[in-house]
């Protein structure tokens, strides 16, 4: 399969699964069980600017663990990057590529950070101290989801440092094994996007919950990601209706990206407190979601928040909102947080932008597929 990668140059583990976020492994299992395997195209990018690095190891990771002859990887030929510039484009069958993301993003993030004079690579002790700073603020459990932000060789040490400083769980098996448990997680945006192409956007979030419920052991909490289509309240209510007659624990994760104002929220208002309004996960929109669930009789549904919750300032703002909401309503506004970025490094991310040759993506991360194809042809080189 390899054309120019040097897989043997990197001492990669025999198997990638224990280093992989659990929700990717479970997504692959669901796709396999349901017989769904469309061709997807994934854009890898980072916010910030600096020297391009880490792509050779990322390519070696894809080369080693990809099982399909149809998988392609293209990497930028540029030496420098700016925010959202395509660093890599990965194409292949969904079942083959969906669970590679944790390790290749970690390699890219580590490489970009290491190459930057303005950032330092992560130190486990400092990472643990940063986790402890926010766990001391929150009065709800914190789950550590940092594997995709850091090099795979650091995953276990960082998870243990997080656990020693108050985190209650982590997203990988190799990390959780350091304190005698297994990795945690349900499903990512990638699965809901794939199901959106198959079943339609309005059905995709509920369908994600249904397929998870059908294919996973009942002792795994059913926590459904509800922000993929920027209709957080509508999709949560639709999904809650499905779970209404099921005797399982269920809830919702809100991870609204920085490009979107969550349903129920408003544009940033300077007269409100920090983190009240604006794009991303904000207090006002979480209150709107919680109120909608309560008004429709879904009081038992838990809410998990992620995206930027390793930031102490954001932690303080949301903690205060949680306390105020509980004093007023007798129950918490949210029940847990997930966080992974506890350092100032450069963190890469990946988004599906095309399925079966047609533009298709989460709301807020749309890509002009025709322009991307031209970019790939003229400014990238194929390494797999």
255 CB contacts (<8 Å, ≥6 apart)? 189, 225, 227, 281, 305, 306, 307
pLDDT of residue 154: 97
Q: DSSP secondary-structure letter at 262?
A: P
pLDDT of residue 286: 98
Query: Can you name the residues that pair with 76 across neighbouring β-strands?
Result: 380
Contact indicator for 137, 315 with CB cutoff of 8 Å: yes
Sign (positive/negative) of CA torsion 328, 334, 336, 341?
negative
pLDDT of residue 6: 64
Has residue 147 got a pLDDT over 50? yes
What's the CA gap between 333 and 241, in Å, rounded?
Answer: 20
Q: Please give the structure tokens belonging to residue 248.
A: 């399982």
pTM: 0.95
How wide is the angle at C-alpha 75 spanned by C-alphas 14 and 361, nearest 5°? 90
pLDDT tens for 206-218 read 999 999 999 999 9
Assign 1 a pLDDT band (cuts: 50, 70, 90). Answer: very low
- Mean pLDDT (the chain) is 96
Average pLDDT of the residues in 101-123 = 96
Has residue 2 got a pLDDT over 50? no
What's the CA gap between 60 and 39, in Å, rounded?
Answer: 21
Average pLDDT of the residues in 117-133 = 96
What is the percentage of the chain residues whose pLDDT exceeds 90?
95
pLDDT of residue 8: 72
Assign 9 a pLDDT band (cuts: 50, 70, 90). Answer: confident
* Dihedral of the alpha carbons of 27, 28, 29, 35, in degrees to the nearest 10: 110
Closest CA to 380 of 86, 74, 84: 74
Question: CA dist 8 to 11, 101, 154, 195, 265, Å?
Answer: 7, 20, 20, 36, 50
Has residue 173 got a pLDDT over 60? yes
Has residue 288 got a pLDDT over 80? yes
What's the CA gap between 78 and 375, in Å, rounded?
Answer: 12
């Amino acid at each position: 399969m390899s054309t120019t990668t040097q897989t043997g140059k990197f001492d990669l583990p025999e198997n990638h699964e224990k280093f992989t976020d659990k929700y990717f492994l479970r997504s692959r299992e669901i796709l396999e069980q349901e017989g769904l395997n469309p061709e997807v195209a994934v854009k890898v990018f980072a916010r910030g600017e600096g020297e391009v690095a880490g792509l050779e190891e990322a390519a070696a990771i894809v080369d080693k663990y990809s099982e399909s002859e149809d998988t392609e990887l293209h990497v930028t030929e540029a030496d420098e990057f700016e925010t959202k510039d395509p660093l890599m484009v990965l194409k292949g069958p969904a079942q083959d590529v969906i669970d590679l993301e944790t390790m290749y993003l970690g390699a890219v993030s580590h490489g970009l950070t290491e190459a930057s004079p303005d950032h330092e690579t992560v130190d486990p002790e400092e990472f643990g101290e940063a986790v402890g700073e926010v766990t001391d603020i929150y009065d709800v459990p914190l789950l550590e989801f940092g594997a995709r932000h850091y090099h795979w060789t650091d995953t276990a040490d960082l998870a243990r440092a997080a656990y020693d400083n108050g985190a209650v769980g982590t997203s990988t098996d190799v990390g959780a094994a350091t304190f005698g448990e297994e990795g945690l997680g349900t499903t990512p945006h990638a699965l809901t996007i794939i199901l959106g192409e198959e079943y339609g956007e309005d059905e995709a979030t509920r369908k994600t919950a249904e397929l998870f419920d059908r294919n996973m052991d009942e002792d795994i909490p059913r926590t459904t990601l509800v922000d993929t289509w920027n209709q957080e309240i509508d999709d949560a209510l639709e999904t809650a209706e499905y779970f209404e007659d099921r005797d399982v624990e269920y809830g919702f994760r809100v991870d609204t990206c920085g490009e979107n104002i969550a349903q129920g929220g408003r544009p940033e208002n300077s007269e409100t407190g920090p983190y009240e309004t604006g794009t991303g996960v904000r207090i006002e929109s979480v209150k709107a979601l919680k109120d909608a669930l309560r008004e429709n009789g879904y009081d038992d549904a838990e809410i998990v928040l992620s995206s930027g919750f390793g930031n102490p300032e954001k932690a303080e703002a949301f903690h205060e909102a949680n306390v105020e909401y509980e004093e007023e309503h007798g129950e918490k506004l949210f029940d847990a947080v997930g966080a992974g970025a506890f350092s100032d490094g450069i963190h890469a991310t990946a988004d599906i932008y095309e399925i079966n040759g047609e533009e298709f993506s989460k709301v807020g991360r749309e890509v002009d597929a025709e322009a991307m194809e031209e970019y790939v042809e003229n400014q990238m080189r194929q390494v797999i």
